[in-house]
Amino acid sequence: MTHIPLQAPPLAELRRRSSTKWRTYSDEVLPLFVAELDFPLAPAITDVLARAVALGDTGYTPPDPGIRAAFSAYARRRWEWDVAPARVRSTTDVMTGVVELLRATIAPGDRVVITPPVYPPFADCITEAGGTVERVALADTGDGWMLDLAGIEAAFAGGARAMLLCNPHNPTGTVHSGDTLAALAGLAAEYGAVVISDEIHAPLTQPGIRFTPYLASSPAAARTGYAVTSASKTYNLAGLKCAVMVTAAEETAAVVDALPAEVEWRTGLFGALSNVAAFAPESDAWLGSLLAALDENRRLLADLLEEHVPGARYRMPDAGFLAWVDLSALGWGDNPAVKILREAKVALHYGPAFGAEGVGHVRINFGCSPDVLREAIERIGALVRT
């Protein structure tokens, strides 16, 4: 099926928004830092939220707002993943789910593996849950990245009790292969570790690239793992507060069921309503159009960097709307986003925030109009020429 790419509203309209992306910097700055999309919401989401407001339907979230069945059907439709609705529980957001699962599966001081460069809150969540961060960097293959399974095995053998997996990976956009995930699950089973997989970017996997849910990668993964995900990244719903925790075995389901009732009670009603609408078949065409827009932009970014920022090193992501770009060759210091913000008035995410592996890097949000992306890279290019 051919999809027409979505069109982002004009900048003047976007600047009327009150979210982090549009309220952190002054209007002279182009904000390509935080992971918010500029595109209009899926019509089914707009409709359900407008109806709720019109009805004054702004109370507490019911015990089952429909998200269990909706996510189960979505997983089967998109990834051929059979998820029992009873094994789906909701919570406020993905990082809340991660923290609560860590609290339930590790002891204070236990080491938890992360794979930098990786989403900065991972380290904070481990500390919040009482754990200790153990870093095993992604392996650079020369044309992409993959998990360093030997390094992860050494960490497990040395006593690490858990791992936070980012699948697809933020910031590189890497979609880990099913074989790699199955190998990771085998290590977790061998050493008695658990894997908590953040799969929030999964619906943003580009056509032709296969996303494998961790829990579906092998029987060992089903026994050792938990998945935490949400419609919030793909459908731009972060402010509405809803995520799901998914299990695939009786033992892990029992852990989730034993979490304090408040973990699920904190789910936002608008978040639940909008997640159900996002996961419905009615939103599939919108998602196809979004993916087409993002595919155009990830390719446009490659062309723009080649033309305006020679020396930039960029590999197109397999998933998501975030680009991991190495600007080390430009000599703009460990954190080039500082210079870019100050002199080009373009806000990018600081590379070193993702770990030592991010020195000299920036993360660029290309979930915007081609015109905004073009202007941003041209502004950065002007710094190269001066």
pLDDT of residue 294: 98
CA 277, 318, 220, 103 dihedral sign is negative
Amino acid, res. 85: P
Question: How much is the pTM?
Answer: 0.97
pLDDT of residue 385: 79
**DSSP 8-state secondary structure symbol assigned to residue 334:** S
Report the interhelical angle of 269-279 vs 43-55 (nearest 10°).
Answer: 150
Spans in the chain with pLDDT lower than 70: 1
Domains of the chain with CATH codes = 11-41+284-385 (3.90.1150.10), 46-282 (3.40.640.10)
Amino acid, res. 77: R
Six token digits for residue 263: 């973990």
CB count, 10 Å around CB of 190? Answer: 13
User: % helix / strand / coil in the chain, to the nearest 5?
Assistant: 50, 15, 35
What lies within 8 Å, CB to CB, of 50 at 6+ separation is none
pLDDT tens readout for residues 153-190: 999 999 999 999 999 999 999 999 999 999 999 999 99
**What distance in Å separates the CA atoms of residue 98 and residue 95, rounded to the nearest whole number?**
5
pLDDT of residue 185: 98
Q: Is 370 exposed, middle or buried (0-12, 13-18, 19+ CB in 10 A)?
A: middle
pLDDT of residue 1: 65
